[in-house]
Amino acid sequence: MSTPHYINGRWVSGNSINRITAYDPSLGQPFDELDAADAAQVDEAVTAARRALPNWSKAGAVTRADYLQGFADSLEERRENLISLLMQNNGKPRHEASVDIDDAVATFRYYANLIRPLNGQPDNAVALPTVAFSSHVRLEAIGVVGLIVPWNFPLVTSAWKLAPALAAGCTVVLKPSEITPLIEQVYGQIADELELPAGVLNIVMGLADTGAALSDHPGIDKLSFTGSNAVGSLVMRTAATYCRPVTLELGGKSAILVFEDCDLDQAVEWIIAGICWNAGQMCSATSRLLVHESIADALMLRLKSAFEKLRIGNPLTGEVDMGPLTSKAQWVKVNEYLAIADAEGLHCLTGAGTLQSGPGWFVSPTIYCDVPSNSRLWTEEIFGPVLCTQRFATQEQAVAMANDSRFGLVATVISTDLARAERVAEALDVGHVWINSVQVVFAQTSWGGTKGSGIGRELGPWGLSAYQSVKHITRFIG
């Protein structure tokens, strides 16, 4: 990839001395390399976006919707190639990669359909308590936005940000993760095909210094970041310098609550999906299992058997249930937590080891039972297939245990008593709750958390409003 950056409608080479390497985590081997963008190229991208903003923000909603529909259609046409790239660079099993492509396509289609009826819609009048004044409200593009996206769900997370930003009339500078630098280039390829006006979409690849140059650029009107709490704090500090708005989707240490009236076999399926999907590399991973004491022993037996039957390996060489961790750094981190568990004397029901499924970065799906609340494995985000369990006696105790966390992204409730499940869902201090379900996410629903899990919401109409500013125009009539 000699020209990996898409700036002002052109593919250009990177000018940084830094190089980005794409790895196949199933093999632990590199398969591509490219030059990173430097700070001057980030400035060039922001300048191009600023130049394109007036015309794009004034383009009709139908025009923007047509482009969004074009992105959806073109992503779908590239489906097999994109699935293969996710399998190779992320280590995702085929069925997970397929879901990711479907998610990105659905997101662009949703926002196309959401804004299409708005074309030519007059400003909304606002009722006032006097006839001496009239007032109306306009929703306008917030401006040039910087989008910094993670490696665990590339293409998906960028679609969640890019589609509503373009729909709102914003222009964009997108910075993909250096761990998965290739797949988001498809957006530039599609922009070329659709003849998207130059500067509306810009893509710069790079390491942390490239992300810092983008987040610290004075020409950015809003930042949207998905990633770790440590980096999110830096992004927020930088944004404070300019008093610019931010959307932050950060970490999680989410709970899954299993009540005594559940179907045990069904509960096992939902628990595994919550911790082993994407090898546990999810901010929404339900890594804290809270189970009613009356069924805990029976559930643990089933879970142990199910974990040990999972097919783990290279998704490119066979059908698997779970692939490797995406990077060596993440593999090292997860193994460090396994060592912490050993030092803390935690009871390991199964797992806690490196798998010999190949030369890549594989770990065993792991369960620790009766983990103390002060354990680092109970309180800290691991980002791997490591499940920690505790028991509860009452509904009130279960809710209190689930809410006892500095994070508040998601939760899952498993119970055949739907009235109780709804009560529990209402009591949980999180942004999204599933009842008797895997973690299915629809473009129509909101995404985001409370407490340390971030600021703001993505998806649904809330995702669109995150890229809009509100302007009131009030006129004296007399």
Question: Which CATH number does the domain housing residue 94 bear?
Answer: 3.40.605.10
- Same structural domain, 290 and 412: yes
Q: Report pLDDT for 120.
A: 64
Between 48 and 357, residue with greater pLDDT: 48
Span 16-33, average pLDDT: 95
61/105 same-domain check: yes
Instruction: Provide the domain count of the chain.
Output: 2
| pLDDT greater than 90 at residue 453 | yes
The catalytically annotated residue of 249, 262, 276, 388 is: 249
The answer on 280 and 200 residing in a single domain is no
> Could you tell me the CATH number of the domain that includes residue 311?
3.40.309.10
The answer to whether residue 1 scores a pLDDT higher than 80 is no
Q: Are 172 and 214 contained in the same domain?
A: yes
Give yes or no for residue 408 having a pLDDT over 90: yes
* CB-based burial label for 130 (10 Å; 0-12, 13-18, 19+): exposed
Within a domain: 401:
yes
What average pLDDT score do residues 178-192 get?
A: 97
Encoded amino acid at 172, one letter: V
Q: Where are the beta strands (DSSP E) in 121-272?
A: 124-125, 133-141, 144-148, 171-175, 201-203, 222-226, 246-249, 255-258
- The question of whether 249 is a catalytic residue gets the answer yes
Lowest mean pLDDT among 3-17, 163-177, 350-364, 372-386: 350-364
Residue 224 three-state SS: strand
pTM higher than 0.75: yes
Other Cβ atoms less than 10 A from the Cβ of 251: the count is 23
Domain that holds residue 408: 255-442
Which of 203, 170, 219, 239 lies closest to 467 in space, CA to CA?
Answer: 170
The pLDDT of residue 191 is above 70? yes
Asked whether the predicted pLDDT for residue 124 surpasses 90, the reply is no
- What pLDDT was estimated at residue 119? 74
Tell me, yes or no, whether 241 and 270 share the same domain: no
CA distance 72 to 203: 18
Q: Among 244-253, 356-365, 408-417, which stretch is predicted with the lowest mean pLDDT?
A: 356-365
Question: At 352, is the pLDDT very low, low, confident or very high (cuts 50, 70, 90)?
Answer: confident
148: DSSP letter: E
From the list 283, 369, 388, 458, the catalytic residue is 283
Respond yes or no: is residue 283 known to be catalytic: yes
- Do 363 and 376 sit in the same domain of this protein? yes
Q: What is the mean pLDDT of the chain?
A: 96
Please give the DSSP secondary-structure letter assigned to residue 284. T
Answer yes or no: do 438 and 457 share one domain. Answer: no
Residue-wise pLDDT for 354-394, tens only, equals: 666 568 999 999 999 999 999 999 999 999 999 999 999 99
Give me the percent of the chain exceeding a pLDDT of 70.
98
List the structure tokens of 311. 């097919």
Q: What was the pLDDT predicted at 2?
A: 81
Contact predicate 82/155, CB 8 Å: yes
Q: Does some domain include residue 229?
A: yes
Q: Are 324 and 362 in contact (CB under 8 A)?
A: yes
- pLDDT score for 118: 84
